[in-house]
Structure 1
Amino acid sequence: MSPLRAALQDAQHDDLIPVNPLFGWTYKRNEPPKEKIYVDPFNAEEQAAIINAAAGSTKNQCTVFFWTGMRTSELIALEWTDIDWKRKKIKINKAHTYAAKNDESTKTKSSNREIDMLPHVEAALINQKLHTLLQGGKVFLNPHTSKQWTGDQQIRKGCWIPLLKKAGVRYRNPYQTRQTFASMMLSAGENIAWVSAQMGHSNVLITAKTYARWINNNEQHGVKGSRDVWATFGQH
């Protein structure tokens, strides 16, 4: 297209044509349609069944899945040095996928974030110390190999599918634990700005659009509000 544009521009300069029909025209690349986020959260009974069916490190991992809103790739990359026990914060600044082989930066700038460590998440991480703290590095490892998870597919096939079968819960992929966190917090009246920040969304509008049907206008705020959610969803 550029040679044609240049030729037409020359023709205009030489008064062979009155105007360049391509002046100011830009080519917009065709982009594939964005994948629609499908939200199919686990209810309180299903969460209880899953966590009760799990044991050891897997139980701790499931609790963190359900109560942080972390992506699977972010949880895989989580390290003990990312946890601020005094401030009760968790730093999320990297992710690990099978395709990448090694840790990478998080999905977007907003994904690079610091989230609140809720009381039940803190309890699960304290329990997890027995399994991986002395090794240093990653918080969660593959319990079958004691090595880092290679990606979400390994978690799904080696851990998640068997666990849901044992729990008698309808299958949804591990990513739905993230959707579960957002939906249960919003339905309990949690502040949408806080939920959006925990999720690592670039703005509140994304959170509102994705989880509109779960938004409760009776807002609560942050960690304090989450205790009420725990009373409903978290007593396993």
Structure 2
Amino acid sequence: MTVEGARPTGYPGIEAHGNSIRVDFMYKGVRHRHTLGLVPTRANIKHAAGLRSAALFALKSGNYNEVDFFPHSRPSDTGAQVSKRLGDLCERYKPLKAVDITPETQSRYENALNVCLELIGRDRQADTLLPEDIQQLRVDLIATRAVSTVNHYLATFAGFLYWCENNGYCGELGKHCVRFSKSNKDPDPLTFDEYQTLIDKGCLHPIDRAAVTLAIYAGLRPGELLALAVEDVAADFSKIIVRRSITQSVTFKVPKTNKERTVLLYPPAQDALRVLVADAKQRKAVDLAVWLNRHEARTDCVRVLLSPHTQARRKVVNDYFVPSAWNTKWANLVRRAEIRSRPPYQTRHTYACWNLTARGNLAFIANQMGHSDYSMLVKVYGRWIDSESPRELERIWEGMQNMAQIAPNLPQKLAA
């Protein structure tokens, strides 16, 4: 298979890479790839093909010494072979992977890699690993961990193994990190009676009532709710712009889709915003570093709507809620209301389910919630989508009749 960026030469395993010739071959599941530093002329390409054949013959006969065949390849620059111990390879892989992910994700990746290396053995040579070793890793992981956790570990370790494959350190092993099937748990939305009980009995402070109402009637992710500011609210309270979210590691980032979105608001959410904005305007704006990616951030000078200052008993508190503090507050509100316990993310599920039960337009709801399309709605909230309702048939038929009145000759044209 030709590597992206390389040009075939007509000889197997010989590629023109930039202004050099690269030799590429596999032996017993291990990839060998070397750049010769020769200009890809016809004579040099023919020489490289002969060198590749000789190297393969030496490998098969047991007389192969890489330095003899490829003295100027990267592993020989220091006169020593590159270590293929999994632990050493992983230490080289981590900083290369880190440039493309956030520090929070990097921490999760490193933890996953460390767990897998401890189980499979840090001192194992990458080129000695077998598919059986990866299958055993799956067995060891699932024995004491949740499916979602194991799948995260396997996906992360697979990325490392693919990197090892692409650099010739081992055979094809990444594909054996097969994820486990996970049963999809249905959303557990609040009923309207539960919501009313939560507002009346659980929320003793008007700010809490406004926050819960906004969460349910706007469908925001908890991190987006906590990062919402006065500056994100339209002057007439008809809409908000979701510009940032706060993470578990207490850093601000752009929303999950990496772009802003506008959310149009129902009257209860508008009333809730009036309460929250009036409270937030009493505070001074603060600078928030919002990370666009690992290397770039912008500064938002804003007044966050939900602040511990409003109800704090202590003098020194944050200017905004961290996710763990909001989880605690939510749990207290639910317990006081004496309704069934749920995590705060269920407010977003409640928004989706209420909208779908009211037969809202799927594309509109998906756009409000920040999904790229409505396939996620169908997958997650299928039981709330009434696809066989006689009311829907009547609504469509009524639309057809209206269409016929507007364009009476359309049926004949379609028949023709």
Band of TM-score, shorter chain: 0.7 to 0.9
Corresponding residue for residue 256 of structure 2: 107
Question: Is residue 2:346 matched to residue 1:176?
Answer: yes
Which structure would you say has the larger RCO, counting Cα contacts within 8 Å and 6 or more residues apart? 1
Using the aligned pairs only, state the percent identity: 23
Which letter maps to 1:191? Answer: N
Summarize deviations over 1:138-181 as a string: whole Å, max 9, x none.
01112433743442221121x21121121111100110000000
C-alpha contact (below 8 Å) 2:26/2:32 kept by paired residues:
yes
Partner of 2:355: 185
Letter in 2 for 1:185: N
Match of 1:57 among 202, 207, 214: 207
Which residue in the other structure is 1:73 paired with?
Answer: 223
Q: CA deviation at 1:31?
A: 7.5
String of CA shifts for 1:111-155, please: whole Å, max 9, x gaps: x31110221111111122332222141011124337434422211
Shift of the 27–182 alpha-carbon distance from structure 1 to 2, 3 Å rule, reads same
Determine the structure 2 residue equivalent to 1:139.
Answer: 305
Could you tell me which residue of structure 2 aligns to residue 167 of structure 1?
337
The AA in structure 2 aligned to 1:151 is: V
SS of equivalent residue, structure 1 residue 171: coil
Q: Distance in 2 between matches of 1:45 and 1:90?
A: 27
Q: CA–CA distance in 2 between the matches of 1:42 and 1:72?
A: 16
Aligned residue identity for 2:378? A
For the aligned residues, what is the CA RMSD?
Answer: 3.3
Closer, same or farther: CA 206–43 of 1 in aligned 2, 3 Å: same
Q: How far apart are the structure 1 equivalents of 2:263 and 2:196?
A: 24
Task: Choose the corresponding residue for 2:371, options 201, 206, 230.
Answer: 201
Whether the aligned pair in 2 keeps the contact of 1:76 and 1:148 (CA below 8 Å) is no
* Residue 5 of structure 1: aligned partner: 31
Matches within 5 A, 1:123-134: 123-134=271-282
Q: Tell me if the contact between 2:219 and 2:352 (Cα under 8 Å) persists in the aligned partners.
A: yes
* 1:26–1:85 Cα change, 3 Å: farther
Q: Deviations over 1:180-204 (max 9, x none)?
A: 0000110110111111111111221
Check the 8 A contact 1:94/1:105 in 2, yes or no. Answer: yes
User: Could you say what secondary structure the match of 2:199 adopts?
Assistant: helix
Aligned 8 A contact 2:366 2:377 in 1? yes
Tell me how many residue pairs correspond in the alignment.
212
What are the superposed Cα offsets for residues 189-228 of structure 1, whole Å, 9 maximum, x if unpaired?
01111111111112210111110110135499xxxxxxxx
Native 8 Å contact 1:67 1:118 kept in 2: yes
1:225 counterpart residue number: none
**Residue 327 (structure 2) pairs with residue 156 (structure 1):** yes
Residue of 190, 193, 201 corresponding to 1:45: 193
> 2-side partners of 1:207 and 1:199: how far apart?
10
Residue 121 of structure 1 is aligned with which of 262, 265, 269? 269
Q: Quick one: distance in 2 between partners of 1:11 and 1:79?
A: 68
Further displaced range: 114-123 or 173-182:
114-123
Structure 1 residue aligned with 2:4? none
Find the residue that maps to 1:70 and give its secondary structure.
coil
The structure whose Rg is larger is: 2
Q: Structure 1 residues 2 and 75 mapped into 2: Cα distance closer, same or farther (>3 Å)? A: farther
> Aligned with 2:282: secondary structure?
helix
Give the letter for the 2:189 counterpart: P
- Which stretch has the larger CA shift, 121-130 or 57-66? 121-130
1:32-69 C-alpha deviation (Å, 9 max, x unpaired): 66975651111011000011121211110000011011
Distance 1:33 1:196, change over 3 A: farther
Distance 1:87 1:68, change over 3 A: closer
State the AA in 2 paired with 1:195: I
Q: Quick check: 1:98–1:150 contact (8 Å CA) kept in 2?
A: no
Cα distance in 1 for partners of 2:221, 2:378 equals 19
Matched, 1:14 2:14: no
Q: Contact (CA 8 Å) 1:208, 1:215: kept in 2 or not?
A: yes
CA distances 1:73-108 after superposition (whole Å, capped 9, x unpaired) = 001100111111348221112101231x23111122
Pair 1:130–1:82, CA change in 2 (3 A): closer
For structure 2, the residue ranges without an aligned partner over 5 or more in a row are 1-24, 35-47, 58-164, 286-302, 396-416
Does 1:213 pair with 2:397?
Answer: no
CA distance in 1, matches of 2:322, 2:351: 21
The 1:77–1:7 alpha-carbon spacing in structure 2 relative to 1, beyond 3 Å, is closer
Gaps of 5+ in 1: 221-236
Q: Is the 8 A contact 1:39 1:179 kept in 2?
A: yes
SS in 2 for 1:6: strand
